[in-house]
Amino acid sequence: ISMDSTDGLVRGMKVLDTGSAIKMPVGDQIKGRLFNVVGDAIDGITAVDKADGRPIHATPPKFEDLSTETEVLFTGIKVIDLLEPYAKGGKIGLFGGAGVGKTVLIMELVNNIAKAYAGLSVFAGVGERTREGNDLLREFIESGVINYGDEFLHSMEKGGWDLKSVDTEKLKESKATLVFGQMNEPPGARARVALSGLTVAEYFRDGDGEGAGKDILFFVDNIFRFTQAGSEVSALLGRMPSAVGYQPTLATEMGLMQERITSTKRGSITSVQAVYVPADDLTDPAPATTFAHLDATTVLSRKIAELGIYPAVDPLDSTSRILSPAVLGDEHYNTAQRVKETLQRYKELQDIIAILGMDELSEEDKLVVSRARRVQR
C-alpha cells in the first residue's frame, strides 16, 4: 500500500526493502515539529534523525501496567465540565456533521488544557483540510503552545514566514507535536497517520528520556477519515464490503488503535477524537463503531449552532461515564441532573410554544422556559 502519490511509478522499477515497519522519530527533537505519516519533518526547518525511532505498530500495554484511577480533566468549557465531564486518561468523542464546530472546539481544548496542565499534546490531522492544518499551526505559534522564538514571531506578525529565524533551542520547549496526513494524501497514508500520531503520544507517555511518565493529550481530527481510508484500502485489496460499503474489518481496525490509547501507571493519554457523522446519522456504522470505545461523548448539534450558541453542544445527547456522585460528589451530580431535567422539560414544551405561543403555558412552565433559556446561553 502506497504512503505517497504513485504518479510516475512503472513496472520494473527497483524497490528497496527496509525490513522494518514505519518508524516515528523520538526525543526532545520532535517537540514543536510537523511530521508526515512516515516520520519525515514537513515544516521545512531541519531534518530529524529517525535512527532510534519507534515502529507505528505496537501492542497495547499489559493488563498489570494499566491504571484504574478516575480523575476529572477540567477543560474550562462550562457545558462540558458540568454535564459531560472528561476523565483524565479517557477517550472522548466529538460528534457532529459538517460545519458545526468540531475543529474549533478541538483548538479551544488544546489551548485551555495545554496552558492549565502544562502537559504535552499530540495532534493527528487525519484526512482533513490542509488549510485547517495551517490555521492550527499559526494558532499554536501565536498562543505559545509551539515556540518558534521571538524573532520568528515578529516576522510572522508582519505577514512573513521566515523559517531561517526559528530558534531551534526554544523549539524544544514547545508543548505540542503535529502529525498530518491530509485530504490530498493517498488512502494508505490516511489509514496510518493516526497510528503515527499515537506512537508519538505513547513515547511521551512512557518512552525513555525526558518527556516520559507524563499526562498526554492526543487529538485526532477526524477519526471518520481513518475509517474512510480503511474502506478505500479494503476496496483496493478486493475485500468483500460489509454494511453501507464499509470494510469487513472495521471493528478490528478501530479496536487495534483504540486499545493503545490508555492510562498506565507511568502516565496517561487522554484522547479527544472528532467524529464526522455522515448526513447527521448517528446509526451509521463508522460513528456507531467508535461509540463503543468512548468514555464521554460530546454531540454537536446543528439546531443549537443555528441559535448562535457555541460550542454547539447538545447537553441531552452528550454523555459521560464519570457523571456519578462517586467521582464528582453529590453537589456536582445533583446540579447536573437538575439542569438536564430543566432542558428536557423545555424541549418537551417547544412544540406547544411553536403552535400556541408562550401565553398558553402555565406560570410554572413559563418559569421552566425562562430558566432553560438562561442556562442555554
Q: Can you give the pLDDT of all 377 residues of the chain as single tens digits? A: 888 888 889 999 999 888 888 999 998 899 999 999 999 999 999 999 888 899 999 999 999 988 888 889 989 999 999 999 999 889 999 988 888 888 889 888 888 877 777 678 899 999 888 888 898 899 889 888 899 999 999 999 888 898 989 998 999 889 899 999 988 899 999 999 999 999 999 998 886 655 456 888 999 988 999 999 999 999 999 999 998 899 999 999 999 999 999 888 888 899 999 988 888 888 999 999 998 999 999 999 999 999 899 899 999 999 999 999 999 999 999 999 999 999 999 999 988 898 888 888 889 999 999 999 998 88
pLDDT of amino acid 267: 86
Q: Are residues 169 and 290 in the same domain?
A: yes
Share of the chain residues as helix, strand and coil, in percent rounded to the nearest 5: 45, 15, 40
Q: Are residues 346 and 315 in the same domain?
A: no
77 burial (CB, 10 Å; 0-12 / 13-18 / 19+) is: middle
**Residues in the chain, overall count:** 377
Whether 1 maps to a domain, the answer reads: no
User: Per residue in 216-233, is it b (16+ CB within 10 Å) or e — as a string?
Assistant: bbbbbbbbbbbbbbbbeb
Q: Are residues 216 and 285 in the same domain?
A: yes
Whether 297 maps to a domain, the answer reads: yes
**Strand duo 72-73 + 86-87: pairing:** antiparallel
Q: How big is the chain by its Cα radius of gyration, in Å?
A: 22
pLDDT of amino acid 52: 86
pLDDT of amino acid 266: 85
Which residue bears the cell 414544551? 349
Whether 6 maps to a domain, the answer reads: no
> Which residue among 296, 323, 350 closes a domain?
323
pLDDT of amino acid 260: 93
Q: Are residues 78 and 194 in the same domain?
A: yes
DSSP secondary structure letter of residue 75:
-
Q: Are residues 337 and 206 in the same domain?
A: no
Q: Are residues 111 and 256 in the same domain?
A: yes
Q: Are residues 256 and 307 in the same domain?
A: yes
pLDDT of amino acid 213: 66
> Which residue among 281, 296, 323 closes a domain?
323
List the beta bridge partners of residue 34.
178
| Cα-Cα end-to-end distance for the chain | 49
> Which residue among 300, 323, 346 closes a domain?
323
Whether 5 maps to a domain, the answer reads: no
Q: Are residues 196 and 340 in the same domain?
A: no
CATH number at residue 313: 3.40.50.300
Q: Are residues 157 and 269 in the same domain?
A: yes
Q: Are residues 257 and 342 in the same domain?
A: no
Whether 11 maps to a domain, the answer reads: no
DSSP secondary structure letter of residue 262:
-
Asked if residues 75 and 86 have their Cβ atoms less than 8 Å apart, the reply is yes
Q: What is the domain count for the chain? A: 2
Q: Are residues 344 and 222 in the same domain?
A: no
Q: Are residues 168 and 270 in the same domain?
A: yes
Among 274, 228, 330, smallest CA distance to 109 is for: 274
What are the catalytic residues?
A: 102, 128-129
Collect all residues with Cβ–Cβ distance below 8 Å to 82 and sequence separation of at least 6: 332, 335, 336, 339
pLDDT of amino acid 228: 93
Whole domain around residue 202: which residue ranges?
A: 23-323
pLDDT of amino acid 210: 54
